[in-house]
Structure 1
Amino acid sequence: MDRAHLDQFDRKILAHLQRDARLTNNDLSERINLSASQCSRRRQRLEEAGLIRSYRAVLDRDLLGLSLVNIITVTLATHNPDNARRFAELLSGLPEVLEAHALTGEMDYLLKVVTPDLKSLSDFVNDVLLPHQSVQHVKTAIVLQTLKETAALPL
């Protein structure tokens, strides 16, 4: 199933669940004017098709003491599949890395990293990233203000 095969009810279900994944089928039924049983069948179909990959809670970084958001760009030491694999393995074990994107252009990777403070950021860069055999260069930027942050896809 892909975007082209979604009808208006599927799109409404997805849109509502993106805003609040705790909605029951009865809640969805009231919001989109479809029976609860139809909402249940459609939700199950959307899950089975992989359009809904998971449900999760969005936590407050500040209240959890992770208020420093950092954008880090990484250049690899060599550009071969083995080195890229080693770097990916490193990232998979780092919970402070919220996002990691392979890029075209000057930098190889862009990371979104949360830390409690500047010392933690310094330790992360100097003790984790830079010593790793796959990494040649690291550049950091501290986020001063987040203007928009969402995981919701445009439907």
Structure 2
Amino acid sequence: MSLLSSLDAFDHAILKAVSEDGRITLKDLSERVGLSKTPCQARLKRLEKLGVIRGYRAILDPIKLGCAHVAFVEIRLKDTRARALNDFNRAVQSHPEIEQCHMIAGSFDYMLKVRTTDIAAYRTFLGETLSTLPHVSHSSTHVSMESVKEDRFYD
């Protein structure tokens, strides 16, 4: 039995509610999902313990914080053996400009979402950082002109 199949309508309602408002009170959560506080809290704790809910955090507005430039970068590595992949994976962790890093099955190895203040800052980051990451042989940049949809996972 998979974890997903073990979740019922109440669990899904709880997940939807906390994904929309991580600061929702237990009282409001229980009212919203139609459970009393005790079983609602037990379900919430169970979802946390199972790792379905990994944590709670504030969603910051990067544009208001001065980081409006978004680029998606295809990365090809010179070497794709396990050690090279691990080296690259570790290296991207230390750069906050890299918001996301996904290993891709296709004509390149990784897709990165990179956020900087502007195109000049991105160019510097590309030349001084991205191109010097372990085993990088080639990159191709796609600049986002507008974000049409950036939502939570659980809707």
Same-fold status (TM-score > 0.5): yes
Measure how far apart 1:22 and its partner are: 0.6
Segments of structure 1 that go 5 or more residues without pairing to the other structure are none
1:105 and 1:153 map into 2 onto residues whose CA distance is 27
> What are the ranges of 5 or more consecutive residues in structure 2 without an aligned counterpart?
none
Residue in 1 that maps onto 2:61: 60
Rounded to whole Å, the distance in 2 between the matches of 1:127 and 1:63 is 26
Which amino acid is the alignment partner of residue 34 of structure 1?
L
Q: Which residue of 2 aligns with 1:109?
A: 110
The equivalent of 1:41 in structure 2 is 42
The 5 Å alignment of 1:64-103 reads 64-103=65-104
How big is the shift at 1:80? 1.2
Question: Once superposed, what is the RMSD of the aligned Cα atoms?
Answer: 1.2
Q: CA–CA distance in 2 between the matches of 1:33 and 1:105?
A: 45
Does the CA contact (< 8 Å) of 1:19 and 1:152 recur in 2?
no
Letter in 2 for 1:57: A
Give the C-alpha shift of residue 124 in structure 1. 0.9
Length-normalised TM-score, structure 2 = 0.95
Match of 1:130, SS state, is helix
Tell me if the contact between 1:25 and 1:37 (Cα under 8 Å) persists in the aligned partners: no
1:27 maps to 28
SS of the residue corresponding to residue 132 of structure 2 reads: coil
Aligned mates of 1:123, 1:80 — CA distance in 2: 29
Deviations 1:6-37 (A, max 9, x none): 11111100111111111111011111121112
Runs of 4+ deviating beyond 6 Å:
none
TM-score, normalised on structure 1?
0.95
Structure 1 counterpart of 2:147: 146
What is the Cα deviation at residue 129 of structure 1? 1.4
- 1:131 is displaced (CA, Å) by 2.5
Counterpart-to-counterpart distance in 1, 2:21 and 2:134: 42
- C-alpha separation between the residues in 2 aligned to 1:45 and 1:32? 16
Once the two structures are aligned, what percentage of the paired residues are identical? 34
What displacement does 1:152 show?
2.1
Structure 2 distance, partners of 1:89, 1:34, is: 43
For residue 9 of structure 2, what is the aligned residue in structure 1? 8
